[in-house]
């Protein structure tokens, strides 16, 4: 296994189309890393660069301290598991797993040992003799993963949207399997997906991409409580973070509909940067009351949505809309009712006009 490091990696398909822009990313050996972002943000391009299937326009790729940019995919000693796995239908499942080892010249005894070990990790020992023909998407992906992990200590295992085509009832099972494999092998894995649930389940840390840029690489808690940019706050969480624009005023931060009081310490920090800001607060961390309370802010309930064990309230004040979640049944609030809201200072995040986190 290897430490994976990208330095200032940029890739342009044409002068007008930049798919990846100045990405710095360091993944320690043995880390389960997620790469999360919407379709078209550059995730797959970045994976192709790491794999050697595409050479970056600028920047460098390192495995440990060895620069990889001029090495072929084979020379990089890595594995890839794709969204649409290929299974050789003229072979058994075991034959599919033996195939790469035979191509690499392993002795038959060693091949059988390694296939058996990989099958035990994946829970496939009882289907090794099953034909590769007619397998469902979930089993095909297991075979593909088996071919990847059967090899000797690949530097990196890249998983590119591996569960997108898998039957919904198999996805949770395969997510757990992937996590077990990563922990037992202590391998460096990069899991590429647009699905935050998959990324959060699998990964130790997650990189968020948008528009070719890597916005933040952090733990799940850090992404939730301290998103580096508003897009991260919106993309992580369900519902995502609430945001509204404010301007500095004598009373605090004026949204046009209400004013948030701020401490002198916060004011001093903000005044060093600008007079206009974006405020963000998580729906789970916004306080709500069905009765009037002190200097809390009145909002009107526009909709109540049931989400599992939560009620999610869509609230309006003028042009400002926010979402607030609370345990189901805790508040008897219906559409049209007035409620009162408080944004706790310790959970309120403030961003500059450039989108960077200030407070």
pLDDT digits (tens, 9 = 90+) for 136-148: 888 888 898 888 8
Q: Is 122 exposed, middle or buried (0-12, 13-18, 19+ CB in 10 A)?
A: buried
Helix (H, G, I), strand (E, B) or coil at 302: strand
Check which CATH number belongs to the domain holding 334 and give it: 2.40.50.140
pLDDT digits (tens, 9 = 90+) for 58-99: 999 999 999 998 999 989 999 888 888 889 999 999 999 999
Note whether 230 and 278 are within 8 A (CB): yes
Check whether residue 209 and residue 248 sit in a common domain: no
Structure tokens at 190: 């990069």
String of DSSP letters for 110-125: HHHHHHHHHHHHHT-G
From 226, 256, 274, give the residue that closes a domain: 226
* Spatial distance between the Cα atoms of 162 and 170, rounded to a whole number of angstroms: 12
Check which CATH number belongs to the domain holding 150 and give it: 3.40.50.300
* Spatial distance between the Cα atoms of 350 and 15, rounded to a whole number of angstroms: 35
- Measuring CA to CA, which residue among 98, 100, 89 is closest to residue 131? 89
Total count of domains within the chain? 2
Highest mean pLDDT among 181-195, 203-217, 321-335: 203-217
Check whether residue 162 and residue 259 sit in a common domain: no
Check whether residue 112 and residue 246 sit in a common domain: no
- Residue 359 maps to a domain: no
pLDDT digits (tens, 9 = 90+) for 142-165: 898 888 888 877 899 999 988 888
**Residue 212 belongs to domain spanning:** 4-226
* Spatial distance between the Cα atoms of 305 and 311, rounded to a whole number of angstroms: 6
Q: How far is CA 268 from CA 231, 244, 345, in A?
A: 26, 21, 15
Q: How far is CA 292 from CA 260, 298, 319, in A?
A: 17, 8, 21
* Spatial distance between the Cα atoms of 55 and 13, rounded to a whole number of angstroms: 11
* Spatial distance between the Cα atoms of 46 and 290, rounded to a whole number of angstroms: 48
Q: How far is CA 29 from CA 33, 189, 207, 211, 224, in A?
A: 10, 9, 16, 27, 25
Classify strands 205-210 and 32-36 as parallel, antiparallel or unpaired: parallel
Check whether residue 210 and residue 255 sit in a common domain: no
pLDDT digits (tens, 9 = 90+) for 288-300: 999 999 899 999 9
From 206, 226, 246, give the residue that closes a domain: 226
Note whether 27 and 33 are within 8 A (CB): yes
Count of CB atoms situated within 10 Å of the CB of 138: 19
Check whether residue 253 and residue 115 sit in a common domain: no
- Residue 112 maps to a domain: yes
- Residue 232 maps to a domain: no
Check whether residue 221 and residue 242 sit in a common domain: no
pLDDT of residue 151: 81
Q: In the sheet where 66-67 sits, what is the strand order?
A: 18-27, 4-12, 58-63, 66-67
Helix (H, G, I), strand (E, B) or coil at 295: coil
Check whether residue 45 and residue 180 sit in a common domain: yes
pLDDT digits (tens, 9 = 90+) for 218-249: 999 999 999 999 999 999 999 999 999 999 99
Write out the H or E segment, with its range, that includes residue 49. helix 43-51
- Residue 14 maps to a domain: yes
Check whether residue 90 and residue 161 sit in a common domain: yes
Check whether residue 8 and residue 133 sit in a common domain: yes
String of DSSP letters for 79-91: EEE-SS----TTS
pLDDT of residue 179: 85
Check whether residue 21 and residue 168 sit in a common domain: yes
pLDDT of residue 110: 92
From 204, 226, 248, give the residue that closes a domain: 226
- Residue 214 maps to a domain: yes
- Residue 357 maps to a domain: no
Check whether residue 315 and residue 203 sit in a common domain: no
pLDDT of residue 347: 96
- Residue 233 maps to a domain: no
Check whether residue 18 and residue 152 sit in a common domain: yes
- Residue 356 maps to a domain: no
pLDDT of residue 288: 96
């Amino acid at each position: 296994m290897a430490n994976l490091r990208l330095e200032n990696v940029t890739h342009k398909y044409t002068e007008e189309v930049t798919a990846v822009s100045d990405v710095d990313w360091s993944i320690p050996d043995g880390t389960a890393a997620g790469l999360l972002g919407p379709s078209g943000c550059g995730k797959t391009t970045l994976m192709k660069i790491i794999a050697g299937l595409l050479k970056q326009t600028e920047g460098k790729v390192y495995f440990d301290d060895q620069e990889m940019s001029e090495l072929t995919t084979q020379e990089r000693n890595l594995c890839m598991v794709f969204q649409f796995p290929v299974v050789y239908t003229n072979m058994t499942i075991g034959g599919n797993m033996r195939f790469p080892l035979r191509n690499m010249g392993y002795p038959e005894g060693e091949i059988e040992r390694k296939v058996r070990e990989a099958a035990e990790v994946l829970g496939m020992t009882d289907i090794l003799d099953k034909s590769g023909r007619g397998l469902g998407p979930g089993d095909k992906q297991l075979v593909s993963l088996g071919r990847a992990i059967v090899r000797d200590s690949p530097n990196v295992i890249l998983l590119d949207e591996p569960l997108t085509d898998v039957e919904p009832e198999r996805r949770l099972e395969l997510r757990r399997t992937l996590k077990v494999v990563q922990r037992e092998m202590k391998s460096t894995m990069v899991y590429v997906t647009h699905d935050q649930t998959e990324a959060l389940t699998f990964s130790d840390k997650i990189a968020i991409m948008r528009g070719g840029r890597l916005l933040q690489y952090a733990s799940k808690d850090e992404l939730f409580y301290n998103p580096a940019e508003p897009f991260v706050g919106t993309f992580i969480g369900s519902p995502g973070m609430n945001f509204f624009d404010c301007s500095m005023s004598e009373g605090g931060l004026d949204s046009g509909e209400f004013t948030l009081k701020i401490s002198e310490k916060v004011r001093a920090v903000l005044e060093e940067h600008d007079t206009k800001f974006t405020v963000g607060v998580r729906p789970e961390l916004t306080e709500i009351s069905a009765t009037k309370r002190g200097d809390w802010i009145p909002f009107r309930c526009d909709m109540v949505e049931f989400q599992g064990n939560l009620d999610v309230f869509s609230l309006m004040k003028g042009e400002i809309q926010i979402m607030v979640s609370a345990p189901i049944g805790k508040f008897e609030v219906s559409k049209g009712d007035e409620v009162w809201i408080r944004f706790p200072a310790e959970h309120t995040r403030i961003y500059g006009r450039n989108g960077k986190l200030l407070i």
